[in-house]
Amino acid sequence: MSTPTAVRVWESQFLVYRRIWLSNVLGAFVQPFVFLLGMGLGVGALIDDGPESAEILGTSYLAFFAPALLATTAMLIGVQTSLWETLDQFMWGNQYRAMVSTSLRATDVADGAALWHATRIGIATGGVAVVLLLFDETRTPAIVPAMAAGILTGLAFALPVSAYSSTRHDDRTFVLIIRLGLIPMFLFGGAFYPVSQLPDWLEFVALVTPLWHGIELCRGLVLGTLSGTAAVAHTAYLLAFAGVGWIACRVTFARRLLP
């Protein structure tokens, strides 16, 4: 029985990852745990005592903030694997080039890379999920679909960004993407406070970013506040980003690898 081509690509990525898996997996758990302790408990104690806090958040600050970490972590890891790690395999390490010299096609490489992004994002959101299970307010079986929502959020970033990276010949713009793209989204995407707190124009910007949709989806699932329509709308929005990104990858990878 033959192994699907994308899985063969995935295997090679996994073999390299095996060397760093322990620190990576531990980090996936420790980082959100520390973050949540600091923000959720520390800042949370301040906020929960404030006036109108319960009306605005509808819950404790920890329970409000924690599920958003599923989405924000997914975004950060998704972009991390799709900037330098992706460009490296085109340019410096050349692993992708080696692959298309075998019976694999450029589209197989794109598919395998997507599968690998999903895995790495899955590991990271898994770490967050474990942390969420430690707290009474966020301990729910809905963590499973929420993790899936996190992975989808990560792919909504990873795939379009990979397509972009695959067209680059240096990494000059990568830091800009993080500083001007990711960090503002992280700050204004509704992870730390409801976007309704923002001025109208900024709120509108937040609603357009895929991160906000990912956060809403994860939060709604974990807290059980998600309506059916909202679930469908957020999922569709994220799927659109991931889907377009995936198709773009299949095109740009082929262009890069088969000049």
Partner 1 sequence: MPTVDGPVIVARELHKQFDEFVAVDHVDFEVEPGESFGFLGPNGAGKTSTMRMIGCVSPLTSGTLSIFGLAPEADGPRIRARIGVVPQADQLDAELTVLENLLVYGRFFDLPRSECKRRASELLEFVQLSERAGDRVEPLSGGMKRRLTIARSLINEPDLLLLDEPTTGLDPQARHVLWDRLYRLKQRGVTLVLTTHYMDEAEQLCDRLVVMDEGRIVAEGSPRALIEAHSTREVLEVRFEVGQNEGREPDLIGVGDRMETLPDRVLLYVADGESALAEVHRRGLDPVGSLIRRSSLEDVFLRLTGRSLVD
Residues that bind partner 1 (CB under 8 A): 2-3, 8-9, 11-12, 15-16, 19, 93-95, 97-105, 257-259
Which residue, 7 or 148, is less far from partner 1 as judged by CB? 7
Asked whether the beta carbons of 12 and 94 are under 8 A apart, the reply is: no
Residues 6+ apart with CB under 8 A from 208: none
Nearer to partner 1 (CB atom), residue 12 or residue 31: 12
Helices (H) and strands (E) in the chain, counts: 14, 0
In angstroms, give the least distance from the CB of 18 to partner 1. 10
Whichever of 105 and 168 has its CB closer to partner 1, that residue is 105
Distance in angstroms (rounded) separating the CA atoms of residues 136 and 60: 11
E strand or H helix that includes residue 244: helix 228-257
CB closer to partner 1 out of 7 and 231: 7
Whole-angstrom Cα distance, residue 210 to residue 190? 11
What's the closest the beta carbon of residue 254 comes to partner 1, in angstroms?
10
Per the structure block, which two tokens stand in for 170? 């240096």
Residue (11 or 175) nearer to partner 1, CB: 11
How many other CB atoms sit within 10 Å of the CB of residue 12?
Answer: 17
Nearest CA-CA partner of 76 in 37, 127, 113, 9: 127
Amino acid, single-letter form, for residue 71: A
Give me the least distance between CB of 257 and partner 1, in Å please: 7
Nearer to partner 1, 8 or 168 (CB): 8
